Amino acid sequence: MRTIKKYFEGKGRNPTNIELQSLGQAWSEHCCYKSSKPVLRKFLFGLNQPYVIDKGDAGVVEFDDDNAYAIRIESHNHPSAIEPYGGAATGIGGIIRDILCMGAKPIALADPLFFGPLDAPLDSVPEGIKHPKYLVSGVVSGIRDYGNRVGVPTIAGSVTFDESYVGNCLVNVACVGIAKKSQLVTNSAKNEGDALILVGGHTGRDGIHGANFASVEITSETEEQDRGSVQLGDPITKEPVIHVCVECAKKGLLTGMKDLGAGGLSCVTGELCLKGGFGAEVHLDRVPLKEADMAPWEIWVSESQERMMLAVKEENVQKVLDICNLWDVSAIPLGNAIKDKVTRIYYHGKKIFELDLDFLTEGPEYERPCNLPSAPIMEEAKKAKAAKPRKFGTYGEALLALLADFNVCCRDWVIRQYDHEVQGRTVIKPLQGKMNANGPGDATVLKPVEDSYRGLALSIASSPFTTAIDPYKGGLAVIDEMCRNLAAVGAMPHSYTNCLNFGNPEKPERFGVFHEAVRGLGDASRAMSLPCPSGNVSFYNESHNGAIKPTISVLGAGIVDDVRKCVTTDLKCAGNSIYLLGETREDFGGSVYSRITGRDGGVSPIDLENLKSGVAATVNAIRSGCVAACHDLSDGGLAVALAEMCLGGSIGAEVNLGALGALPTDAKLFAESATRWLFEVKTGEEKRFEAAMKGLMLFRIGTVGGESLTVADGKKQAVCENVETLRKAWAEPLWNVMG
């Protein structure tokens, strides 16, 4: 406020109401990243590769000589906590617009979701907070209805449950698009005089101050006070808008394009022009309205959905309007790019707004107090110990319990509500294996270009349980998981986008966790030579129930030379050999087994050079054709990964873990040591496979076959469970709760 006062004193006048409202939006945490920018600049902004083409509302990365893919992830947490159906739906609408405004056609959606326990007692949910079961139903329905109606497949995601998300669920949404390099568009006007054309939905009071709402903690009064901040999505309007934007880009009619997201017109107009070195003149009374009595400031800051801003040379304006008319999409020229770097707004001929764009768009930047974690085990992690530790009579019983855990069990209740095959590009799907016996996949694979077998693999990864214990290792762990997932289908990791969900940055201990997690993310990315061309920070994910677990979500993209050589997770053929790649240690920190039983153990160390070698060897082995199936070891460790491979293939396996040394049996079965994969190797290809893994820690541990998963530790049998028993434990939990 002191900065704003000084600015207007220099102008010799007081601000107008609309100017203050605009500054409130533009300088919110959600819009200007005033707390996170110094940390991001230090650890992430320098990540790059020559094949990154642009960093705008989405990152644009080279796919092949002629084509590029656009990639972005963002959060829609607070709106979804208040109105789960509409919040999630508009999250999907917003992330699609981010891809569109780079000139790319959206071809895939992904959604990492985080909720409180589904079986939480009603009286344990704080007043003013919705029950996790209600939130799950609403969020999944919102994603389903929006994505399915606009014809963009939802092909990847995750669903995580934990007490910390009861008061503040997380709805992260991601999108990927494809475009000819020749049709790519930047987020900037190019010429003085370029027309600014508002395309798409009409403007209403929905979504007013949505960016401000996303920059505060949730309280018991939030729903009553802030419901108007939640936007209203309209996929039936969005679908033709997609066609309009892609067609205009293909025909080279645009000098720039940007979507109306956080801040609405108040942010997009100035940003679009300033990036090109210009200012903007806008006639606000031309904006098509949903409600006739809206005040000018409401029109200016509204975040109503399905709107795009196009910058167009004057000679191309009519061509753009004709395309919009063909698709029955509203399109109104609002103003022009001007030489002076200011935004001027006129309303019925009267000037009501004039601000220097450098002042309006730059915003403040804070060096927040930062208490770096002094010990690897944090108080939040101590609280995460199993409240009622369970004991099991056998390791088989423990395996069944892990498979039935909400953080491990089958997600087909969610997946089958989404169309993951529309557009016909999905080669490897989210559920993998024999028909009616599907197991989980590590990554999905798209064939984006019709006349090429080159593929794009996509995978979601997150590590909240590890990050809560050791934030730095959590940052490393999420890259480790992402790379393992992509390599498991035969894809070389190529780029990623991140969504950083944390608590209140004004609390030094929360900001310290953020600092260390981002440091880990940056170190892992540099070691793997992975660019991060886009991302999102979501702070203030706290309620009167406390803060969420610090949660990094990433969508990783990998390149597949030939989609016909990809493999899936399901076991294929009796007699094939099973190998384990990577070192198993007594690593239980943040593990599912630890959360159920209270088993102590540290967080897995991550050797980044070992990760790089393991990824390269895995991808090369799969490309060579000697691997029939591959699965990374993640939640639940080795035993769960083996069970999942058996479920997809509807076939058993006989395994002996004696070669793993003198570790306790439960560590061999359930520890979550990083950088490990399981392989099914074709009979007769063992020597070639072992040669591909030369120099790495590789163990031949078993054989495919039978109707049961049998695991021994030396001469002692540890697990013997029929595949159908495993399937019942894994397949039913979500259906039993959600119906």
- Per-residue pLDDT of 91-104, as tens digits, reads 999 999 999 999 99
Q: Would you kindly state where each structural domain of the chain is located, as residue ranges?
A: 17-33+188-363, 379-738
Name the pLDDT band for 127 (thresholds 50, 70, 90).
confident
DSSP characters for 151-220?
Answer: T--EEEEEEEE-GGGSSS-EEEEEEEEEEEGGG---SS--STT-EEEEEESPB-STTTTHHHHTTS---T
Average pLDDT over residues 54-59: 96
In this prediction, what percent of the chain has a pLDDT beyond 70? 95
Name the pLDDT band for 23 (thresholds 50, 70, 90).
very high
Share in percent of the chain as helix, strand, coil (round to 5): 40, 25, 40
Which of 561, 535, 577, 585 lies closest to 447, judged by CA?
Answer: 561
In this prediction, what percent of the chain has a pLDDT beyond 90? 87
Which of 153, 192, 179, 186 lies closest to 70, judged by CA?
Answer: 179
Which residue type, as a one-letter code, is found at position 654?
E
Distance CA 56, CA 102 (A): 8
The continuous run of DSSP H or E covering 231 comes out as: none
Q: pTM of the predicted model, to two decimals?
A: 0.94
Predicted confidence at residue 379, as pLDDT, reads 47
Q: How far apart are the first and last CA of the chain?
A: 51
Tokens matching residue 107: 């071809």
What would be the CATH architecture of the domain defined by 379-738? 2-Layer Sandwich (3.30)
Predicted confidence at residue 215, as pLDDT, reads 47
- Same fold for the domain at 17-33+188-363 and the one at 379-738? no
Predicted confidence at residue 376, as pLDDT, reads 44
Name the pLDDT band for 218 (thresholds 50, 70, 90).
low
Question: pLDDT of 420-433, one tens digit each?
Answer: 999 999 999 999 99
Name the pLDDT band for 213 (thresholds 50, 70, 90).
low
Average pLDDT over residues 348-365: 93
Name the pLDDT band for 683 (thresholds 50, 70, 90).
very high
Angle in degrees, CA 447, 453, 454, rounded to 5: 75
Catalytic residues: 30, 76
Residue of higher predicted confidence among 156 and 363:
156
Predicted confidence at residue 223, as pLDDT, reads 55
Of the CATH numbers 3.90.1310.10, 3.40.50.1980, 3.40.50.720, 3.90.650.10, which one belongs to the domain with range 17-33+188-363?
A: 3.90.650.10
Which of 255, 257, 263, 256 lies closest to 241, judged by CA?
Answer: 257
Question: pLDDT of 477-513, one tens digit each?
Answer: 999 999 999 999 999 999 999 999 999 999 999 999 9
pLDDT surpasses 60 at 383: no
Averaged pLDDT score across all residues of the chain: 93
Predicted confidence at residue 544, as pLDDT, reads 78
Contact 454, 562 (CB under 8 A): yes
Question: pLDDT of 445-480, one tens digit each?
Answer: 999 999 999 999 999 999 999 999 999 999 999 999
Which residue type, as a one-letter code, is found at position 442?
D
Average pLDDT over residues 141-154: 96
Name the pLDDT band for 375 (thresholds 50, 70, 90).
low
Tokens matching residue 307: 């709107």
Predicted confidence at residue 362, as pLDDT, reads 85
